[in-house]
């Protein structure tokens, strides 16, 4: 989308700027991963960050290097803005745990993750109890379930179990060893909805992984009525023959849609010189492409049996792909649409191929969504790697780590602001 009259967001660069006083601070990657409760509501985020050269630094003094990355990240970034005032899990180093460095956040916002490599000594237990007395929530990663450390578990509030590393056949029996402690159980690295259901039946309280961004197991049943209606709207919007009069009628016949469109265009996302009070005026002010995008976004948010975080992720990808495409002088409209529909299979619980057969999308977007091929496919793959923390695999032309991080943080802020306006 060009930035003249078709952009559905404010000019890029409006997000919080990040200091570049030193290479150590500007070379920090950052990402967030959601943690859900048993109802698929967002509970917290785990924050991931790493220095671009941390692997090199860790050869000599990994603990100190990681601690400096944490300090720099909190000095330079507003993590309340990233986490949207949800609690955050942070895997702190031994220095932080043992009190050699100050904790970067208040007790009601920080969940301290204990690194697996830290030995549960008497001194450590004493320090952890001190944190607990101050109100901090403590999480331990993958404890020995066959011989649980009672002193360590007695200080913990949350126990994290890596689903990709545990013995699944023995897990149910092993969890019995934790029942006597006052802890919540968190299953991490959940890849499928089936694993989510299984861990929920086992009694886990919290769930982490990208299962929420994948469709449930495909069945022969048809698309649910509320999702079918959304798909029909999306098909109409993507039809190149859809003109202004058809779009105006589509919006005007839906009171809720009309209200949300007018609310958005008159919000801080746009600084209109005068109030826009009709759908026709909105289309004339923003242009056909921008209004199509808004209707698509609002329609996706109306799917009420999926986590709000899934729509937020779609918007976040769309915005980041748009801004990266502008930087790389690629088609920002195609990039935005590709990101927006990157989770459509999870939203519809249908195979991506079937959905693509029902949406009249451009061939380059279809190739990107189905096979990650072409320029849009490469860009989508790049954004996916960044958000998943697979930073070693990133290769970017003429983009520094600081610039990549800024694109990511701005997309988070934009998607959050947008969802708030729609809600």
Kindly report, residue by residue over 25-44, the tens digit of the pLDDT. Answer: 567 888 999 999 999 999 99
Give the integer Cα–Cα distance in Å for 54 and 116.
19
What structural domains and CATH numbers belong to the chain? 23-212 (3.20.20.450), 225-422 (1.10.3210.10)
Residue 339 in contact with residue 407, Cβ under 8 Å?
no
Q: pLDDT value at position 220?
A: 52
Segment 187-207 shows an average pLDDT of 96
Segment 172-195 shows an average pLDDT of 92
Kindly report, residue by residue over 348-393, the tens digit of the pLDDT. Answer: 998 999 999 988 999 999 999 999 999 999 999 999 999 999 988 7
Q: Residue 57 pLDDT > 60, yes or no?
A: no
Give the integer Cα–Cα distance in Å for 390 and 268.
34
Q: Residue 143 pLDDT > 70, yes or no?
A: yes
Least Cα distance to 199 among 159, 231, 257 occurs for 159
Q: Residue 135 pLDDT > 80, yes or no?
A: yes
Least Cα distance to 90 among 50, 42, 51 occurs for 50
Q: pLDDT value at position 66?
A: 63
**Which has more confidence, 104 or 37?**
37
Give the integer Cα–Cα distance in Å for 321 and 343.
14
Q: Residue 125 pLDDT > 70, yes or no?
A: yes
Kindly report, residue by residue over 210-241, the tens digit of the pLDDT. Answer: 999 998 876 655 566 677 888 888 988 888 88
How distant, in Å, are the alpha carbons of 17, 103, 342, 413 from that of 36? 29, 25, 21, 20
Under 8 Å CB-to-CB from 277, ≥6 apart: which residues? 262
Q: What angle do CA 209, 308, 113 make, to 5 degrees?
A: 40
Give the integer Cα–Cα distance in Å for 44 and 60.
33
- Ranking 168-177, 194-203, 315-324 by mean pLDDT, the lowest is 168-177
Q: pLDDT value at position 20?
A: 36
Round to the nearest angstrom and report the end-to-end CA distance of the chain. 24
Distance of CA 232 to the CA centre of its chain: 27
Q: Residue 395 pLDDT > 90, yes or no?
A: no
**355, exposed or middle or buried, with CB in 10 Å at 0-12, 13-18, 19+?**
buried
The token pair that represents 244 in the structure block = 């202004």
Model confidence, pTM: 0.85
Q: Compute the Cα dihedral for 71, 72, 76, 80 and give only its sign.
A: negative
3-state secondary structure 222-260: CCCHHHHHHHHHHHHHHCCCCCHHHHHHHHHCCHHHHHH
Q: Residue 307 pLDDT > 60, yes or no?
A: yes
């Amino acid at each position: 989308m060009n930035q003249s009259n078709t952009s559905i967001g404010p000019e890029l660069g409006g997000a919080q700027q990040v200091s570049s006083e030193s290479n150590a601070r500007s070379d920090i990657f950052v990402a967030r991963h959601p943690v859900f409760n048993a109802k698929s509501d967002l509970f917290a985020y785990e924050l991931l960050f790493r220095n671009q050269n941390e692997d090199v630094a860790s050869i000599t003094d990994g603990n100190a290097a990681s601690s400096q990355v944490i300090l720099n990240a909190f000095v330079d970034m507003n993590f309340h803005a990233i986490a949207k005032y949800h609690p955050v899990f942070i895997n702190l180093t031994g220095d932080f745990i043992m009190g050699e460095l100050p904790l970067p956040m208040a007790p009601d916002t920080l969940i301290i993750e204990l690194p697996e490599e830290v030995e549960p000594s008497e001194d450590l237990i004493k320090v952890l109890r001190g944190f607990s007395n101050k109100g901090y929530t403590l999480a331990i990663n993958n404890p020995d379930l066959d011989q649980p450390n009672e002193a360590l578990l007695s200080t913990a509030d949350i126990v994290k179990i890596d689903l990709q590393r545990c013995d699944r056949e023995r897990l149910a029996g092993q969890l019995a060893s934790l029942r006597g402690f006052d802890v919540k159980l968190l299953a991490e690295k959940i890849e499928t909805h089936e694993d989510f259901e299984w861990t929920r039946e086992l009694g886990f309280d919290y769930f982490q992984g990208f299962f929420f961004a994948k469709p449930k197991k495909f069945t022969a049943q048809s698309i649910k009525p509320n999702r079918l209606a959304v798909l029909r709207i999306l098909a109409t919007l993507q039809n190149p023959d859809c003109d202004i009069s058809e779009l105006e009628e589509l919006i005007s016949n839906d009171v809720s849609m009309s209200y949300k469109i007018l609310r958005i265009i008159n919000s801080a996302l746009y600084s209109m010189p005068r109030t826009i009070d009709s759908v026709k005026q909105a289309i004339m002010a923003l242009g056909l492409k921008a209004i199509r995008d808004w209707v698509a976004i609002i329609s996706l948010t109306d799917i009420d049996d999926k986590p709000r975080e899934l729509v937020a992720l779609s918007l976040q990808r769309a915005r980041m792909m748009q801004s990266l495409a502008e930087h790389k002088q690629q088609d920002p409209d195609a990039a935005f649409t590709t990101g927006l529909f990157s989770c459509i299979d999870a939203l519809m619980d249908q195979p991506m191929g079937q959905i693509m057969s029902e949406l009249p999308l451009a061939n380059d977007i279809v190739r990107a969504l189905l096979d990650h091929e072409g320029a849009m496919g490469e860009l989508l793959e790049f954004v996916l790697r960044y958000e998943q923390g697979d930073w070693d695999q990133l290769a970017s032309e003429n983009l520094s780590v600081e610039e990549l991080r800024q694109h990511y943080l701005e997309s988070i802020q934009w998607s959050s602001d947008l969802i708030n306006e729609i809600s």
